[in-house]
Structure formats: structure tokens, C-alpha cells
Amino acid sequence: MPGWVPLASAAAGGYLLGAVSFALLLGRARGVDLRTVGSGNLGATNAGRALGRGYGIAVYLLDALKGVLPALLAPRLLDGDPALLGTLAGAGAVAGHVWPFWLRFRGGKGVATLSGALLALHPPTLAAGAVVHLLVVKATRVMALASLCFGVALGVAAWLLDAPPPTAWFASVAGLLLFWTHRSNLRRMLAGAEDRLGDPLEKSR
């Protein structure tokens, strides 16, 4: 078997799992299309505002699971370097979440799925990023700003905490990707119009 086949299989398997939008599915179960309410984002924050806190938590956990499972399973099911296989599977899951083929490549922002992948690949990196995220949320109540700081912290922490090189590069690149997926939030922050936790749903539009 050519050496690229396990690598491609890991990335493709991760992508297919990542492309499952639990926010859309849970929203539809409640008769709500999350693409048409609030921020329109298929993620935990918008689900929490539109459907209730419990749904937001459920979406976050399920989206994180999309990162955990492929990153853990790929090295066990495929032949090759475990760190590289797990990283490719986790990266595929993030890509699937952000660009799901069945939703015309318009998905979520990737924070939860990235968190899950790094939980499987290198927990100390995730822990460092999570601390930064929580501190920024507590200080500002701006979830988007906390997510951006989380992304930066992941890249820095991965190298400082000696994550395997494939994982460190993944954390760095995926952390920067959050700036692209949060570009509308960045524009609102620069305009002083970004919503804060606890704001009513209407303000998040």
C-alpha cells in the first residue's frame, strides 16, 4: 500500500466526520434553522442564544467530539506515524466543520472541533489555550475575542510545551484560521458593535 494512502484516509475520515453539523441537526429538531437566526453561525454560541444554554453546551461537546474521535482513532486503525496520522485526522475534522461539502462549504467557526482534536493530540496545549480563553471571557464577556486569543495561545503553547511537530504546526495554523472564520466578528469588534455574553439574540445579528 502506498504510504500516502493512510495519510489521505486519515484526513478524509476526519473531514467526513467533521462535516456533520450537530448545530443544524439539533436546531432542526427544535424547528429552528440556526443559519437564519442570530449570527447565522452553526456553532455552540449561536445555538445557546437561539435554543437555550443546554443546547449550546450540547453542540459544543458534540462538535468537540468530532475532533477527538478521528484524532484518537486514526493512529490505531492506520499504519504510519501516529502523531502525523492523528494530526491529519484532527485537521480534516476542523476543515469538515468549517467547510462542510453538504452545506455548500459554509459551516461553523471551528473552535470546538479544534479543541477536541487538541484534547486528543496534546492536552497541555489545549489546557493552556483554555486558560487564556476563560480569562478573556471573564474580563470582557466577548466570546469572539476569547476565541481569537485562544487561537493565538494554542500556537504559542504547542511549541513551548514540546508538542510533536505535526501537532504544533496544526495548532499554529488552525489557531490563525480562527481569525478568518471570525472575520465578521473582527469587523464588529473594530466598529464597537460585537455582542457580549448575556446580550439578547437580536443584538447578535
Q: To which residue does cell 495519510 refer?
A: 7
> Which is nearest to 133 in space by CA: 117, 119, 152?
152
Query: What was the pLDDT predicted at 203?
Result: 44
Domain ranges of the chain: 4-204
pLDDT digits (tens, 9 = 90+) for 106-119: 999 999 999 999 99
Q: Which three three-digit cell numbers place residue 185?
A: 466578528
Q: Compute and round to an integer the Cα radius of gyration of the chain.
A: 17
Q: How many CB atoms lie within 10 A of CB 3?
A: 9
What is the SS3 assignment for 31? coil
* 194 confidence band (pLDDT: 50, 70, 90): confident
> Which is nearest to 65 in space by CA: 31, 35, 20, 33?
20
Q: Which three three-digit cell numbers place residue 171?
A: 495548532
* pLDDT of residue 23 exceeding 80: yes
pLDDT digits (tens, 9 = 90+) for 71-123: 999 999 999 999 999 999 999 999 999 999 999 999 999 999 999 999 999 99
